Chains A and B, each alone.
Chain A
Amino acid sequence: DVKVTQSSRYLVKRTGEKVFLECVQDMDHENMFWYRQDPGLGLRLIYFSYDVKMKEKGDIPEGYSVSREKKERFSLILESASTNQTSMYLCASSIYPGPISYEQYFGPGTRLTVT
Chain B
Amino acid sequence: AQTVTQSQPEMSVQEAETVTLSCTYDTSESDYYLFWYKQPPSRQMILVIRQEAYKQQNATENRFSVNFQKAAKSFSLKISDSQLGDAAMYFCAYRSATGATNKLIFGTGTLLAVQP
Q: Which residues of A contact B (CB under 8 A)?
A: 4, 31, 33, 35, 40-45, 48, 50, 56, 58, 90, 92, 94, 96, 98, 100-104, 106-109
Q: What's the nearest-Cβ distance from chain A to residue B27, in Å?
A: 16
> Cβ of B37: which chain A residues have Cβ within 8 Å of it?
106
Q: What's the nearest-Cβ distance from chain B to residue A90, in Å?
A: 7
Q: What's the nearest-Cβ distance from chain A to residue B16, in Å?
A: 29
What 0/1 readout, one digit per residue, does chain B (98-112) give for beta carbons within 8 Å of chain A? 001111101111000
Asked if B101 contacts A108 (CB within 8 A), the reply is: no
Q: Which residues of B contact A (CB under 8 A)?
A: 4, 6, 9, 33, 35, 37, 43-47, 50, 52, 91, 95, 100-104, 106-109
Most chain A CB neighbours (cut-off 10 Å) among B37, B43, B45, B91 = B45
Which of A43, A50, A56, A98 is B106 in contact with, Cβ under 8 Å? Answer: A43
Which of A48, A100, A106, A109 is B103 in contact with, Cβ under 8 Å? Answer: A48
Q: What's the nearest-Cβ distance from chain B to residue A25, in Å?
A: 12
CA distance A31 to B103 in the complex (A): 9
Most chain A CB neighbours (cut-off 10 Å) among B37, B91, B101, B102 = B102
> Cβ of B43: which chain A residues have Cβ within 8 Å of it?
108
Q: Which residue of chain A has its CB nearest to the CB of B104?
A: A104
> Cβ of A104: which chain B residues have Cβ within 8 Å of it?
47, 102, 104
> Cβ of A41: which chain B residues have Cβ within 8 Å of it?
108
